[in-house]
Amino acid sequence: MTTPAMAALLAAVKMDPSTTLDEACDAALLCWMLDATRPWPEPAKAALESLLDAHRTGLGDPAAWRRLRRAAVALGDNGDPHVKALGQVAEAAAWPVAASTAALIELMRAICHLRAYRASLATGWTAEAHAEATATLNSIAQGEGTRVPERHEIPAMFEVRHPALAKRFVAQLDASNQAFSQFPAEVAAWIEGARR
């Protein structure tokens, strides 16, 4: 019988929520999703490995789950943006899947954000470029003492003011959006394979 967590996820990936999957699929899917976030940097490795083991073995000890959640929250508080994004993944996975209606959907969303972040980095986008783009866009949006532009005018004004940065901004945004939207399709494909 399909669990509430799987039913919520099925709706999110636009699959028939009446699809019948047994409870073992929840943990298997969650483990597959966690594995899909590799490679893990050293500061995140132990916490994510522990979560993977907990889900694989069906850990039932509430105190152990509380320890896993504390480790996940610590990752989310890390100053490194990559580790912090993995911390969001860990926090979503730090619950027994059978006890949480939102576990699978929250994990999928966190992984979408992680993949978007990684895709942005892969374009060469940096924290410095992000800060410069944000400052430029905010300056344009405020009108710099002149007329405040309409929202739809801002991208063209950005291209005029800083063409190279605008081009890089659009490239990283496109890559980020593509990566974000691709993971739910991969999840749907995994579920489709599990149904067979």
Cα separation, 87 vs 130, in Å, equals 21
Which residues lie below 8 Å from residue 5, measured CB to CB, with a gap of 6+? 26, 97, 98, 100, 101, 102, 103, 104, 105
Three-state DSSP class for residue 77: coil
Q: Cα 33 to the chain's mean position, in Å? A: 11
pLDDT tens figures, 103-116: 999 999 999 999 99
Q: Cα 168 to the chain's mean position, in Å? A: 22
Work out the percent of the chain whose per-residue pLDDT is above 70: 99
pLDDT tens figures, 11-58: 999 998 777 888 889 999 999 999 999 999 999 999 999 999 999 999
For residue 119, the model assigns a pLDDT of 98
For residue 178, the model assigns a pLDDT of 97
